[in-house]
Amino acid sequence: MIARRVRYEITARALGPALVAMERWRSRLRRRGRGAGRAEGPFGPPLESTRKLKELTALHYLAGRFADGAVPVAWVTSGFPVEMLRPLGFHTVYPENHGAICSVKRMVPELSDAAEREGYSRDLCGYARADLGSVATGKTPVGRLPRPDLLCCCTNICQTVLYWYRALAAHFRVPLVVIDTPFVYGEAQPHLLAYVADQLRELTEIAERVAGRKVDRAALVETMRLAREGTRLWDECLRAGRARPSPWTGFDSFFHLAPIVAMRGTRECNAYYRMLRDELNDRVARGVGGIADERVRLLWDNLPIWFNLRDLSTVLARNGFNIVCATYTNAWAEAGSMIDPADPEGSSARAYLHVLLNRDLPHKISIMKRLCREHGATGAIFHSDRSCKPYSIGQIDLMGRLASETGVKGLLLEADHADPRAWSEAQAYNRLHAFMELFA
């Protein structure tokens, strides 16, 4: 145990940063040869912060290779109140974040095949199939995922996570904590807040037993403060997209979302978003855009199409279209603002009950209308996501209401956020080009 802890700490604090520094040096040499900082095709100059994002992600997964047996490890869903785990020293793994990486690396078909051989349906969420396939085969683009000591899921994003994590619990034979969040119509009633807060107290008791230590209340308050601050910083990054031209694209923001999802409540996360915010504000001051010629500004609804982001963003940018806001990225700024360090359990109950996917359609249309108004978006692309059915429910009605009430033109684009086998490229681009002609 002591030897493993030493190896983990050396990797996280010394070896990992040294390897990252070496790769940074090599990258600088490569960029000098190519001409660093130049615009690429229809895009503006690349964000310098992207390099730091890659470093943060690489360090997180590198340390994770040596985490099991050294520190307690928890696998958690994206909408889980992770702030309760950090003061106990848990190394957290987000299978959804890992699934997005698998999709970008085009590994989802192979991993899905493995999951389907295990008896899981192809109709299951692509993230779940990628994760279960990775568990079955041991294959992953990040080298190795640490074995969990605790599984933590919250039903505020979908019910799939409940059955997905039950399958993981049966495989790994470790405790599973489920935070049940009833669906919210309007605002959560007091009895719902109390119900979730009680579950968070039970979570702390179970996590303490797994970690073998008690929660330091001061450390918990500090984690909550960092989580709220990180949410505010992420919101400030998103607000930069209101400028004309927007200093980045919505596709950029999908990638830069990773720290607030997987590293929320840490100093590293907040330091990163200060860097990104400052760079975006500097680009705004200098009039530098995310695309070279921004003509039409769009809203994106639902998760991104991870495996096709580059091609899709290029087609849009060549025609002067820029995704300047997205319901998905905004969701991580919206609910987190409800966190109050003075009341960890109570405010977390409120924040995690009020995430976008756990609220009704009137709330969602109000968010869309506000985002379009604030960002000057005159069009919206609704990704009808085969994998994420809760996010896709009601999109046709939402698209109609957005058009009739605000004049924002809409496109329903059928795809999948992870699995390219559910993507018809020719059909999608025919629809997209027809949509863009509406703005001619």
The total of structural domains in the chain comes to: 1
**346 belongs to a structural domain:** yes
Q: What is the dihedral of CA 344, 350, 353, 355, to 10 degrees?
A: -100
Average pLDDT on 351-362 reads 96
Tens digit of pLDDT for each residue in 304-348?
999 999 999 999 999 999 999 999 999 999 888 899 999 999 999
Q: How confident is the model at residue 17 (pLDDT cuts 50, 70, 90)?
A: low
Amino acid (1-letter code) at residue 145: L
Residue 424: the pLDDT is 92
Tens digit of pLDDT for each residue in 74-99?
999 999 999 999 999 999 999 999 99
- Domain enclosing residue 319, as ranges: 2-29+46-437
Tens digit of pLDDT for each residue in 136-176?
999 999 999 999 999 999 999 999 999 999 999 999 999 99
Tens digit of pLDDT for each residue in 364-411?
999 999 999 999 999 999 999 999 999 999 999 999 999 999 999 999
CB 81 within 8 A of CB 200: yes
**357 belongs to a structural domain:** yes
**40 belongs to a structural domain:** no
**308 belongs to a structural domain:** yes
Average pLDDT on 289-311 reads 97
CB 408 within 8 A of CB 336: no
State the pairing for strand pair 296-301/176-179.
unpaired
Alpha helices in 173-294 (DSSP H): 190-211, 217-239, 250-256, 258-262, 267-286
Quick check: helix, strand or coil at residue 158? coil
**35 belongs to a structural domain:** no
Spell out a b/e string for 137-162, using b for 16 or more CB atoms within 10 Å of the CB, else e.
Answer: eeebebeebbebbbbbbbbbbbebbe
CA neighbor of 224 nearest in space, from 140, 389, 399, 343 = 343
**239 belongs to a structural domain:** yes
Check pLDDT > 80 for residue 2. no
Give the DSSP letter of residue 79: T
Q: Residue 405 has which token pair?
A: 């009430």
**425 belongs to a structural domain:** yes
**37 belongs to a structural domain:** no
Check pLDDT > 80 for residue 223. yes
CB 325 within 8 A of CB 241: yes
The dihedral region occupied by 294, where left means phi > 0, alpha psi between -120 and 50, and beta the remainder, is: beta
Tens digit of pLDDT for each residue in 191-219?
999 999 999 999 999 999 999 999 999 99
